[in-house]
Each structure stands twice: as C-alpha cells, then as structure tokens.
C-alpha cells in the first residue's frame, strides 16, 4: 500500500551543476507543461512546490482581490487617457 502510494505521488529528478532539473514526463503530461511554460517555485510551510503559470492558474485567481471593479475601472480610464495622447 505505502509503496503504491509513493509511486503514484512521488517523482524524482537530479539537480545539474547549473541548478537545472528535468520535470518527469508523467508530471509534464498531467499538468500540460510544455516547452516555454513558465513555472513558479513556491515555498510554503517548509515545502517547495512548483506551479505551472498557465491560463487555468490565472483564471483560478480571478476575483481573489475583490476590488469591486475599481481596478478594472482604473485600468480602463488609464487606457482611455493613453489613446487621447
């Protein structure tokens, strides 16, 4: 049981002299990581996580600040001023 759990959730890689790592193919496929995909390294509670910075990640953040539309209104006003110049 423990061996099966470890095989399903843990993958390893080796850090090169240049500090590079290879993301295992199963992980790349599962999370849609392709050439050019940006990733974030997030340190949280003594653990290191890697998060692909893709469209679905940013969509999950939509509305998190709850600015009541003020931010969007401000951006639209700024764009309007830029066009008038």
- Indicate the pTM of the whole model: 0.56
What pLDDT was estimated at residue 26?
92
pLDDT 10s digits, 20-54: 999 999 999 999 999 999 999 999 999 999 989 88
Residue 13 CA to residue 23 CA, distance in Å, equals 7
Q: In which residue are the tokens 């050439």 written?
A: 35
Residue 13 CA to residue 20 CA, distance in Å, equals 10
Which domains are seen in the chain, by residue range?
Answer: 2-84 (2.10.260.10)
pLDDT 10s digits, 56-84: 777 777 766 666 667 667 777 887 887 88
What pLDDT was estimated at residue 72?
66
């Amino acid at each position: 049981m423990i061996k099966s759990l470890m095989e399903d959730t843990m993958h390893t890689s080796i850090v090169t002299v240049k500090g590079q790592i290879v993301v295992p193919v199963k992980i790349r496929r599962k999370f849609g990581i392709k050439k050019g995909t940006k990733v974030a390294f997030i340190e949280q509670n003594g653990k290191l996580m890697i998060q692909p910075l893709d469209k679905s990640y940013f969509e999950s953040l939509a509305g998190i600040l709850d600015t009541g539309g003020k931010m969007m209104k401000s951006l639209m006003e700024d764009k309007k001023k830029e066009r008038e110049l």
